[in-house]
Structure 1
Amino acid sequence: MTAIDTCIDECRHCAGLFRLGRDVEAALSMVEVFEGAQQVLVLAPADTQQVWAQILTHMLDCQERQDWLGLADDMEYELVELLQSVPA
């Protein structure tokens, strides 16, 4: 399993925790997800890194508003799609 695959699995798991209302556990997992995504995306092209910054900003806004479903959607769909676009 590649680092990207691992990060994608962690995104989906964390999103699932948010959907189940386990926001404290999910928030702790989210820190690890973001660190993993950052490591995967650090060598990505500039436009990919810019999209990552936009997604991250939106997810943090969702967290601030306690919009757990919006955060889960961004993590499971937007971030996973971005990670899948990065060449392995």
Structure 2
Amino acid sequence: MTLPEHVVYEARECAKLFRLGRDIEGALQMVELIDRSLPLMDGASVERQAEWGRVLSAILACQERQDWLGLADWLEVEFVDLIGAVLIK
């Protein structure tokens, strides 16, 4: 499994944890997920990097509100789509 495929898999697994109410485990996994994702954004277009900031802001806002289902949605849809779009370039 390549790094991008692994990141997508991890994002979906992390979203599952939040959907199951396992927010502490999900939060710990999410930190690792974001750390692994950062190198994928190197060399991305300015537009993609702006989108990255928007997605991360939304994810962190959901975490602050303890909106675990919203956070899971952002991870599973927007985050995964963004990673896929960066890879296609």
TM range (shorter): over 0.9
Shift of 1:46: 1.2
1:20-70, CA deviations, whole angstroms, 9 ceiling, x for partnerless residues?
A: 000000000000111111121122111101100000001000000000000
Q: Which residue of 2 aligns with 1:12?
A: 12
Q: Does 1:67 align with 2:67?
A: yes
Report the RMSD for the aligned CA atoms in angstroms.
1.0
Q: Give unpaired runs (5+ residues) of structure 1.
A: none
TM (norm. structure 2) is 0.94
Shift of 1:3: 1.1
Q: Which residue of 1 aligns with 2:44?
A: 44
Q: Which residue of 1 aligns with 2:27?
A: 27
CA distance in 2, matches of 1:71, 1:54: 13
CA distance in 2, matches of 1:76, 1:28: 16
SS at match of 2:43: coil
CA distance in 2, matches of 1:9, 1:42: 20
Q: Give unpaired runs (5+ residues) of structure 2.
A: none
Q: Which residue of 2 aligns with 1:83?
A: 83
AA aligned opposite 2:66: Q
- Identity rate, percent: 47
Equivalent pairs counted in the alignment come to 88
AA aligned opposite 1:27: A
Q: Which residue of 1 aligns with 2:55?
A: 55
TM (norm. structure 1) is 0.95
